[in-house]
Amino acid sequence: MQNFAGRIRRIEKIHRKGGGFEAAGTLGQSFYTRTKRTRRPVLRPALTVLTVFLVFKAMTLAHLGSADYTARLDGLRTGNTVQQVGAHLMAIDPITQAAAAGIRPLLR
């Protein structure tokens, strides 16, 4: 009798939530009332941050010029550990050079 009463409570709870018998392959009440899990994108925000960082580097290089930018990087390389990591991240790479070449005419 306790097992039967437990089953009845469980069925009534399902009915209160909008569930019930649904034939296989049909769109019943549970299709419309259940919460849909959405996946959070990981790659898109990471690419956005990387793109913004590269554009920042390119704009800085285009504004300062290659000689002054390199001199500032050399100054960072002689600093503490955080500054050395910053100098490594801000180093001139081919992508930054190409973007700076495209930005330079816009800044003048």
Say if residue 51 is in the same domain as residue 71. yes
Say if residue 25 is in the same domain as residue 60. no
Say if residue 71 is in the same domain as residue 48. yes
Domain count, the chain: 2
CA–CA dist 97, 100 (Å, integer): 5
Identity of residue 70: T
Q: What is the pLDDT of residues 58-103, one digit of tens each?
A: 999 999 999 999 999 999 999 999 999 999 999 999 999 999 999 9
CA–CA dist 52, 62 (Å, integer): 15
Say if residue 49 is in the same domain as residue 18. no
State the residue range of the domain holding 73: 44-107
Say if residue 63 is in the same domain as residue 90. yes
- Name the band, by pLDDT with cuts 50, 70 and 90, for residue 20: low
Best CA proximity match to 53, nearest among 99, 2, 105: 99
Residue 38 lies in a domain: no
SS3 content of the chain, % helix, strand, coil (to 5): 70, 0, 30
Contact, 30 vs 22, CB < 8 A?
A: yes
CA–CA dist 63, 74 (Å, integer): 18
